């Protein structure tokens, strides 16, 4: 039976393509777990002293630039008040998080993923192209056909920002807050303007990760969650069909 027999006239058959390498899929799901644990344990650590400062020092009498709320038990690890246990969870998964980033970045450089798939082209960075992409996203006009299997410029900028800026900053500022690691990496807190500045930057980057996650989930739901999630599990992505109007013969 012809695969196109039941398709409306002018519509291409839906095909599947290989979209995500195994390394990307494995790192993605590893991060789902590690980032969730680190964020939730980080909220418990925040509950112990929910005030952020700049510089080297910070205590209750000092002026904070931001005071965070107390987070409920359902959002923290552990669910009961225990900053010591939260630090154990946080630091244990920090090793998995940091090593995972290092391995993924190294492998992405070797196989060309960063340069081939995530590097914005010069033409894509033109104001006209960026504005058109923003308008398309705002109007929920998602790519069809083969274009749907490629990253658009907003995705490239978001992924590069997370992969090359937010995640490395999270690791480095986390190291800067550790007195034990400061002995091995002398001067790291001063690089960020002090240990309290490193803590503030750490929380800002964590907030950026949460914002990225919320936007990412929203886009997955709007673009078709079954197809998107399946591609991140199996690597295979079903191309949305392109509708082409037949030329007029008038």
Query: What would the DSSP string read from start to end of 100-142?
Result: HHHHHHHHHHHHTHIIIIISPPTGGGSHHHHHHHHHHHHTT--
For residue 60, being part of any structural domain is answered with: no
* pTM of structure: 0.80
CA 59 to CA 152: how far, in whole Å? 45
Average confidence (pLDDT) over 67-86:
94
Has residue 213 got a pLDDT over 60?
A: yes
Three-class SS state of 13 = coil
Three-class SS state of 238 = strand
For residue 65, being part of any structural domain is answered with: no
Has residue 74 got a pLDDT over 70?
A: yes
For residue 212, being part of any structural domain is answered with: yes
For residue 9, being part of any structural domain is answered with: no
Helices 195-223 and 167-176, interaxial angle, to 10°?
150
Lowest-pLDDT range of 23-27, 119-123, 201-205: 23-27
Q: Measured between alpha carbons, how far apart are the two ends of the chain, in Å?
A: 34
DSSP 145: G
CATH code of the domain containing 122: 1.20.950.20
CA 98 to CA 149: how far, in whole Å? 29
CA 42 to CA 90: how far, in whole Å? 7
For residue 198, being part of any structural domain is answered with: yes
In our burial notation (b when 16+ CB lie closer than 10 A, e otherwise), range 205-242 reads: bbebbeeebeeeeebeeeeeeebbebbbeebebbbbbe
How many domains does the chain divide into?
1
Q: The domain containing residue 38 runs over which residues? A: 16-55+71-238
User: What does the DSSP assignment read for 44-66?
Assistant: HHHHHS-EE-SSS---TTSPPSE
Find which of 113-117, 134-138, 205-209 is predicted with most confidence, using mean pLDDT. Answer: 205-209
For residue 249, being part of any structural domain is answered with: no
For residue 200, being part of any structural domain is answered with: yes
Has residue 117 got a pLDDT over 90?
A: no
Has residue 13 got a pLDDT over 70?
A: no
Picking from 49, 50, 40, 48, the residue whose alpha carbon sits closest to that of residue 73 is 40
For residue 28, being part of any structural domain is answered with: yes
CA 70 to CA 172: how far, in whole Å? 26
- Residue 14's pLDDT is 54
Average confidence (pLDDT) over 185-196:
88
- Spatial contact of 62 and 204, defined as CB atoms under 8 Å apart: no
The phi and psi torsions of 70 (rounded to 5 degrees) equal -80, 125
- Residue 248's pLDDT is 33
CA 234 to CA 19: how far, in whole Å? 9
């Amino acid at each position: 039976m012809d695969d196109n027999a039941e398709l409306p006239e002018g519509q291409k058959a839906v095909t599947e393509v290989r979209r995500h390498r195994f390394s990307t899929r494995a790192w993605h799901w590893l991060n789902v777990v590690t980032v969730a644990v680190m964020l939730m344990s980080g909220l418990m650590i925040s509950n112990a002293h929910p005030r952020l400062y700049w510089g080297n020092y910070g205590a209750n009498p000092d002026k904070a630039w931001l005071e965070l709320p107390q987070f409920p038990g359902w959002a923290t690890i552990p669910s009961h008040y225990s900053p010591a246990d939260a630090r154990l969870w946080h630091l244990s998964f920090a090793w998995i998080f940091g090593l995972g980033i290092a391995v993924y970045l190294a492998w992405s450089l070797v196989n060309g993923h960063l340069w081939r798939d995530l590097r914005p082209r010069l033409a894509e960075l033109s104001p006209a192209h960026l504005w058109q992409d923003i308008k398309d996203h705002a109007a929920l006009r998602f790519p069809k056909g083969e274009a749907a299997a490629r990253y658009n410029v907003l995705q490239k900028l978001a992924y590069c920002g997370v992969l090359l800026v937010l995640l490395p900053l999270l690791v480095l500022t986390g190291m800067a807050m550790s007195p034990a690691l400061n002995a091995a990496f002398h001067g790291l807190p001063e690089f960020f303007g002090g240990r309290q500045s490193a803590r503030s930057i750490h929380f800002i980057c964590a907030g950026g990760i949460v914002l990225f996650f919320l936007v990412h989930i929203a886009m997955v739901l709007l673009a078709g969650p079954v197809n998107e999630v399946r591609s991140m599990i199996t690597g295979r992505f079903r191309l949305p069909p392109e509708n082409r109007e037949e030329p007029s013969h008038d």
